[in-house]
Structure formats: structure tokens, C-alpha cells
């Protein structure tokens, strides 16, 4: 079982969700590298700064509708992405995203791109693959592969339920007041007898289940 849910990952998940909420409203404001204060209604937190407005070639991310966005609460986390510019996505339904994956081309890449202008039959398989990886991050099979994340999720859910169960057990032992006397077995027995004597629901309900001749339940 792949236990990938470390504290840091949870933290980054939370940061990502929070960051999306923040940047969707203020992506346009944060577009040119100035210090990002955010709109007035945001939660107070340590000063977050947009460190770069460049379209960074971001590494592999999960198939979420939101690409990597995270404001630097921790300085080592990735830079903010300017969502007002064309973005790269690995999605099944968008085979050709708005921009190429790799923006920054090395001289080797550039010469390969030149070679691409000629007949493609002259390119070797490695060169063709290199060209593919310049434009795209993940292939379709890589994009579509399933992960074992569900196991972590189920484990987490069961763990939390178990923890809650322990808390409840402790509560009944130490927190709850003693049960009322009406819950005692003796009281309950007397209560049942009284209900039968009263003929409670004699046709289809309670007393109907009691055999009055034999003095037992039917």
C-alpha cells in the first residue's frame, strides 16, 4: 500500500486548494512580479509573495483541472503560474494544449527543431521521441495510468473512523453520566409487562406478538 500521504503532501494539497481560491480572483493583479497582497477578504496569513510571473515548465502533475498553483508560504515551493497566459495541460480531451511543454530550448533542441522542418523520415526514433517530449509532458498511457492513491484514501478514512470510535468509547466511559434507571433490566421487564397488561397495539403491534394463553412470545 502506497502511503504517500505525508504531512508535507497534505500541507501542499491544502495550500494548493487555498492558493487556487486566492489566485483565481487575483491572477490578473499578480501578473508582473509585484508583491501579492491579495484581496481584502482573504484569511490572514504570513506575507505571500509571487516570485515569478514566468510560465515555468512545470513537472508532472496529477490530472486536475487546476495546474500547479501555489503561493510561496514556504519559499521552496513552486512559483505561481500566470493563468492569464496560455497554459499547458495533460488532458485526454485536449490533445494539443495551448502551449508547448518546454519553453526554454537548449541549442540542441533548437537544432532538432530545424531538422524537423525537413523530411521526417530522416529523423531517428530517438529524435522523434525527443521532439515529442519537447512539446508534451506525458504520453496518453502515462496520463491515463491509475494510481494507488485510493488505497491511501480508504486507509485514511478507516483510520479516522477508528479514531473516532476510540474517542466515543472513551467518552462513554469517562464523560457520559450514568444511564437513567429506566434502562435497568429489571425496570425494562416491568415496563414490558405493563405494556402487555395495557394491550399496547393488540392487533398488529406489540401485544399482538404475545400469546396471552401460554404466557410467552409467539
Partner 1 sequence: MFRAAVRLSVSGVRSITRTQPGCQALLASRGYSHGKQETDEEFDARWVTYFNKSDIDAWELRKGMNTLIGYDLVPEPKIVEAALKACRRLNDLASAIRILEAVKDKAGPHKDIYPYLIQELKPTLEELGISTPEELGIDKV
Interface contacts to partner 1, rule CB under 8 A: 92-98, 116-117, 119-123, 125, 128-129, 131-132, 134-136, 139-142, 144-145
Distance between CA atoms of 53 and 159, rounded to whole angstroms? Answer: 41
Kindly report the number of other CB atoms within 10 A of residue 42's CB atom.
14
Q: How far is the CB of 132 from partner 1 (least distance, A)?
A: 5
Q: How far is the CB of 127 from partner 1 (least distance, A)?
A: 9
Q: How far is the CB of 194 from partner 1 (least distance, A)?
A: 58
Looking at the Cβ atoms of 6 and 122, the one nearer to partner 1 is 122
Distance between CA atoms of 26 and 10, rounded to whole angstroms? Answer: 24
Query: What residues have CB less than 8 Å from 38, skipping those under 6 apart?
Result: 22, 26, 48
Looking at the Cβ atoms of 9 and 128, the one nearer to partner 1 is 128
Q: How far is the CB of 107 from partner 1 (least distance, A)?
A: 18
Looking at the Cβ atoms of 145 and 182, the one nearer to partner 1 is 145
> What's the CA angle centered on 118, arms 115 and 119, to 5 degrees?
120
User: Are residues 19 and 73 in contact, defined by beta-carbon separation less than 8 angstroms?
Assistant: no
Looking at the Cβ atoms of 51 and 55, the one nearer to partner 1 is 55
Q: Are strands 216-217 and 210-211 parallel, antiparallel or unpaired?
A: antiparallel
Amino acid at each position: 500500500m502506497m502511503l504517500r500521504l505525508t504531512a508535507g503532501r497534505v500541507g501542499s494539497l491544502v495550500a494548493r486548494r487555498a492558493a487556487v481560491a486566492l489566485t483565481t480572483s487575483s491572477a490578473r493583479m499578480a501578473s508582473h512580479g509585484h508583491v501579492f497582497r491579495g484581496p481584502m477578504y482573504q484569511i490572514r496569513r504570513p506575507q505571500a509573495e509571487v516570485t515569478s510571473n514566468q510560465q515555468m515548465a512545470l513537472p508532472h502533475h496529477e490530472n486536475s483541472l487546476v495546474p500547479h498553483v501555489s503561493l510561496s508560504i514556504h519559499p521552496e515551493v513552486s512559483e505561481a503560474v500566470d493563468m492569464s497566459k496560455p497554459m499547458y495541460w495533460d488532458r485526454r480531451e485536449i490533445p494539443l494544449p495551448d502551449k508547448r511543454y518546454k519553453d526554454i530550448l537548449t541549442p540542441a533542441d533548437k537544432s532538432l527543431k530545424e531538422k524537423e522542418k525537413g523530411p521526417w523520415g530522416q529523423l531517428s526514433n530517438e529524435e522523434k521521441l525527443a521532439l515529442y517530449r519537447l512539446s508534451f509532458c506525458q504520453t496518453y498511457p502515462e496520463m491515463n495510468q491509475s494510481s494507488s492513491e485510493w488505497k491511501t484514501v480508504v486507509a485514511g478514512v478507516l483510520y479516522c473512523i477508528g479514531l473516532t470510535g476510540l474517542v466515543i468509547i472513551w467518552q462513554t466511559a469517562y464523560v457520559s453520566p450514568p444511564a437513567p434507571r429506566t434502562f435497568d433490566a429489571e425496570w425494562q421487564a416491568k415496563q414490558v409487562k405493563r405494556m402487555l397488561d395495557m394491550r399496547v397495539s393488540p392487533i398488529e403491534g406489540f401485544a399482538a406478538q404475545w400469546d396471552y394463553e401460554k404466557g410467552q412470545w409467539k
